[in-house]
Structure formats: C-alpha cells, structure tokens
Amino acid sequence: MRIVRRALSEISSTDLEVIDNLISRNQGLIFHEAGFNRIVADYFGSNLEYFFLIKNDLRTAGICPAHIIKQGLVARIYSNPTHCEMPYGGWVLDQDYSPRDLIAKMPLKINEILIYWSSFFNINISLGSGLAITEHQTAIIDLDRGEETIWQDVIDPRKKNKVRKAWKNGISFREGEEKDLPDFCSLLQKTRTAANLRLRELEFYLAVFRLLQPQGKVRLFLAELGKELVAAVLIIGNANCMHYWQGTVNKEAPNLGQSELLQWEAIKWSQRRGARFYDMCVVDKEHLPHIASFKCGFAREVTPFYSLERKPFLYRFLNRINRMQGNYGH
C-alpha cells in the first residue's frame, strides 16, 4: 500500500473517473467531488491536489482532496478548508478499507501542516499514534424511512406546528432559479453580517449553481409572503447525501414558520430525488445553541465526525520564523 499526491494538472480523465466511482459507491460527499473542489480552489486561491491510496495490485482504494495554501515559509494542507464553506472532507475508502496509521502516513513536506476534517461517514479510519482528535457533531435524517415516517416520527412536533403556521399564514414556497441568486445573496449577506461571519460574493454561488444545477446536485428554495422574500435555503449534495448548505431569513419579516417550511420542503425534495440522507450541516450546541436547536428539531439524532492537525517537527520551527516575519496563515 502506498499513498501518492497528484496536483490537479496531473490528474487524468481516468483519475477523475476513479474519484467519481469511489465517491459514488463508498458514501463520498459533494465536498469530495473534483468539480466542487475546483470551484473552491479557483475562488479561494488554493492549489488543489488529491491523495490516492494505491494497493499493491495498483488499484486505487481511496481518495482524499487536499487544498494547499502557502503562507511564507510554510504551507497548510486542508482536507477541506472549512473557512471556504466546506464542512467535511477526508478520505473516501473502498469497502471500509482502513489500513493502519493511514493519516499518519500521508506524505507531507517538512514545511507543511495537515489540517484534516473527516466526513460523518467512514470515521473509523486508523489515525496513528500521537494525533489529538477533536469531535464535532451534525444531525442526519435517514431518507430511506420515507416522507410520511419522517414527518410522523422524526420531525419535532414544534417544528411541524411551525410548518402548519406557514401554510396557514400564506407563506408561499417555490424553487429558485439562477436569476434569484442575487436576491438570495443579498439576504444571506445581511444574515452573515449580523452573525459576524465571513461574507461570500455572488460569483462563488453562481459558479456552484451553474456547475451543479444541471446535475440535480443543488437547489435553491425560496419562501415569500406576497412578493417579499422572507427566507431562502440553498442545498447541495449527491445521491449519498444532500446538505443544508446555506440558509437565511429576513429578520424584518414576521416569523411565520418560513424557515421551518423551507427545511421540510428541502427534505422532501431530497427524498424524492433519491438521496439516502439529508444532513443539517454541523450542529454546534456550545457556540451556536439557537441554530443547533433549530437543526435538531428536524433530525433528533446527532452523528459525530472529527478534526485533527498533523505537524511535522520542522514545520513548527519554520512556522515560528514565519510568524516573526509577519506571515500569518488561516
């Protein structure tokens, strides 16, 4: 078994097929796919590579995306740059293939740090000794249970009452188109500013929408009261899982259950599309308790995933020099 790194320019069409096939049959996420990663690399200025796990018979048993961001003397390798709207990443492995000390064996240069975030699938990967793990949580809905069962047994009664309230008060729902993205982004920017979160430009969401919409991997859902936009949800994903990626609400409009209505419509659409799971996209009960409570009202069971950092010894020395020279990374 060996692990090789290949830059995007070195990845052939055959390699891309291997990546797609591994993702499809082994619960890979949209955040592993080359197309989405290419958009993130272009927009945020990282160098995109992939790690390939090659078995002795030369077959590829796993892949892991890697975004390299250079900062002075050092470089940071992100399995998924969370600051670039990618909550999950890590290895996608064939048939639960989990070689010993997999992450510890990922080849790094002496000036590189690995910042690794897993998926909520395939979390039982052998890490290697001396790697401290931080656990995170998300909330997942098993869509194989069917729409009626999910409504009756999974959705919190208070959330169902909110959905009914939206119906009763004339909140209308529709699927958005590309021409609706500017209004969505304008409302989203207000929400992110109020929450002191990083702002993203319209061009980023346009690029994602244009790539994924023809493939049925992105949908924009809008809630309106009359002609006023009162809430919006952007979901992305693949047949393995759809994700509640971005959501926003008009704080100046009355709370008539519009956010709950959009979540329920997004869940139903994902189930009809044939996705296996719907992910509420990270639950942070400590720092974002109100958002966590909202999300857990739709998926009562939380699911773990983890993050870690791997620092070669010389990286620490070089990074100290880097900071003395005023070069600071993410």
Same fold yes or no, 2-136+306-324 and 157-299? yes
| For the chain, domain boundaries | 2-136+306-324, 157-299
3-state secondary structure (DSSP) of residue 322: helix
Beta bridge partners of 308: 116
Superfamily of domain 2-136+306-324 in the CATH hierarchy: Gcn5-related N-acetyltransferase (GNAT) (3.40.630.30)
3-state secondary structure (DSSP) of residue 2: strand
Q: What is the mean pLDDT of the chain?
A: 91
Q: Which two tokens stand for residue 120?
A: 């909520």
Q: Which of 24-28, 195-199, 254-258 has the lowest mean pLDDT?
A: 195-199
Q: Which of 70-84, 98-112, 218-232, 305-319 has the lowest mean pLDDT?
A: 305-319
15 alpha-carbon distance from chain centroid: 22
Query: CA gyration radius for the chain?
Result: 21
Using the predicted structure, report yes or no on whether residue 111 has a pLDDT greater than 50. Answer: yes
Q: What is the pLDDT of residues 142-183, one digit of tens each?
A: 999 999 999 999 999 999 999 999 999 999 999 999 999 999
pTM of the model: 0.92
Q: What is the mean pLDDT of residues 90-118?
A: 88
3-state secondary structure (DSSP) of residue 206: helix
Fold of domain 157-299: Aminopeptidase (3.40.630)
Q: Residue 220 — φ and ψ, nearest 5°? A: -110, 125
pLDDT band at residue 191 under the 50/70/90 scheme: confident
